[in-house]
């Protein structure tokens, strides 16, 4: 998928969540949405990832650092994230996952990462997340776990074991409270 197509999918999701998809999109409306604190961090990540894929790590790091300074959002440039990414809020979020699927909603103060220090960014020590997952504020998803599609991770939950598709998990450590 091209950078343009992914950004269009991300922007479309912004409109869907805001309930504005039924309205006629105007140039001013698109510009306003593009510079919102919910969408601009996504754009900066997409650019960082795009430069990383092309072996231009210094440029990728500049966009990643800009995201961190402006929005308090640290996302590894090598993390694969599907289209439709949405951040209701960004402050304090760290994304060091291996892969996150389409239409992920990630709230503030969330951490995805390894359980131990992993300077080599080994995929085998990082979380993988399915499609249409919602991760609540303050949640931590640590280690080589799989969060299945359509799962929900409650606020402040600490996920250290796999979460089945369609499950809702809460608590420390996270436990299933609802399974669809």
Q: Which phi and psi (to 5°) does residue 38 adopt? A: -95, -25
Domain CATH for 25: 2.160.10.10
Beta bridge partners of 135: 106, 153
* Helix ranges, the chain (H): 3-17, 27-34, 40-53, 57-71
Terminal Cα-to-Cα distance of the chain (whole angstroms): 31
Q: How many domains does the chain have?
A: 1
**For residue range 11-69, what is the model confidence (pLDDT) as tens digits?**
888 877 776 655 555 666 666 666 778 889 999 999 999 999 999 999 999 999 999 99
H or E, element range at 77: none
Q: What is the pTM of this model?
A: 0.89
**Domain of 65, in residue numbers:** 3-179
Q: What is the pLDDT of residues 99-152, one digit of tens each?
A: 999 999 999 999 999 998 888 888 899 999 999 999 999 999 999 999 999 999
């Amino acid at each position: 998928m091209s950078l343009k197509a992914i950004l269009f999918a991300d922007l479309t999701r912004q409109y869907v969540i805001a309930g504005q998809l039924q309205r006629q999109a105007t140039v001013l409306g698109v510009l306003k949405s593009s510079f919102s604190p919910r969408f601009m961090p996504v754009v900066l990540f997409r650019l960082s990832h795009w430069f990383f894929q092309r072996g231009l790590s210094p440029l990728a790091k500049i966009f990643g650092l800009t995201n961190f300074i402006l929005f308090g959002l640290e996302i590894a440039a090598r993390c694969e994230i599907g289209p439709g990414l949405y951040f209701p809020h960004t402050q304090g979020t760290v994304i060091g996952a291996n892969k996150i699927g389409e239409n992920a909603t990630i709230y503030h103060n969330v951490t995805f990462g390894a359980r131990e220090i992993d300077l080599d960014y080994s995929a085998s020590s990082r979380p993988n997340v399915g499609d249409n997952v919602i991760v609540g504020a303050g949640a931590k998803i640590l280690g080589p776990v799989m969060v299945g599609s359509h799962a929900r991770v409650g606020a402040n939950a600490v996920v250290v074991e796999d979460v089945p598709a369609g499950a809702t998990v809460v608590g420390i450590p996270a436990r299933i409270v609802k399974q669809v």
